[in-house]
Amino acid sequence: MTPDPDSIRAALPTFFLNAICRMALNCLPSAMILTLLSSLLCAFIAAASEFSGVATLTSEYIYRGLEMSEGDPALQLGLDYEHDSGLFVGVWASTIDIRTAMGSRDTELDYYAGFHYAATSPLTATVTLLRYSYPGQTGMHRYDYSEVLVNATWRDRYSMELGYTSNLYGLDRIGRHWELRTEWPVANAWVISAALGGNDMSDASVSPYLHWNVGASTRLSRLTLDLRWYDNERPDGFATQLSASSQLVLSISTAFLIDIQ
């Protein structure tokens, strides 16, 4: 049965976000979440006639103000399918380079599923359940964890994202995230965009910090080029060594469609 968009929007006001996310993540074991997302992905792909993907080569993988590839280029690939009802599933992977006393990680593999509401009104909303995993990670500690994301976009120009996890990096600690974004077309060839975000990982001995970026992107034939400046407040704690401060990043990506006959 197709979810009622009005019911979903009414059930997700901001002041209920933490309670809803905590219940979802605490009640479902990590293995069950991963199995659910994998099953949904397989089911949708089997029923789909077409799904989309994007391949990206970036000079540095930066995520929420943190450096994930230690100054090295990263190769990324995403694949997803969205049903007419707004339900979607997908998988995304990237090379990374993170080495700590607790072990190393060379690959990030993310599974996600959710619901996208896009009506005739200028407002669109998305709710996503996301599973971060790190195949081949070394050491005794497992960094895999799940997160709930809620995103609202106004007129394709302004958006706000809220994120919550109760098991950040597998440490059984709460992590909260918010981000504001805006983008503006310029002369029908370029898009100027900027974002300001904040992470609160104080339960994991990391001080709350702000991060921001500003950049421009353009299309050249089938390729999209993005040049972006990243900076942040240099967080204290275990994330200090991953802090991506004052960096210029160039990314080249191409989108594609796959038909299943």
So where are the chain's domains? 5-259
Winning range, highest mean pLDDT, from 24-28, 36-40, 67-71, 235-239: 67-71
Q: Range with the lowest mean pLDDT among 20-34, 98-112, 191-205, 222-236?
A: 20-34
pLDDT of residue 2: 44
Under 8 Å CB-to-CB from 26, ≥6 apart: which residues?
A: 166
User: For residue 8, which of 156, 184, 128 has the smallest C-alpha distance?
Assistant: 128
Q: Name the more confident of 72 and 15.
A: 72
Q: 176 pLDDT exceeds 90?
A: yes
Q: 130 pLDDT exceeds 90?
A: yes
Q: Which two tokens stand for residue 200?
A: 């609160």
Site of tokens 């006959």: 261
Q: Whole-model pTM?
A: 0.79
User: For residue 61, which of 102, 103, 108 has the smallest C-alpha distance?
Assistant: 108
- What is the separation, in whole angstroms, between the first and last Cα of the chain? 26
Under 8 Å CB-to-CB from 121, ≥6 apart: which residues?
A: none
CB 230, CB 48: distance < 8 Å: no
In this prediction, what percent of the chain has a pLDDT beyond 90?
49
> How many whole angstroms separate alpha carbon 132 and alpha carbon 137?
12
3-state secondary structure of 221: coil
Under 8 Å CB-to-CB from 221, ≥6 apart: which residues?
A: none
The class of domain 5-259 in CATH terms is mainly beta
How many CB atoms are located within 10 Å of the residue 66 CB? 20
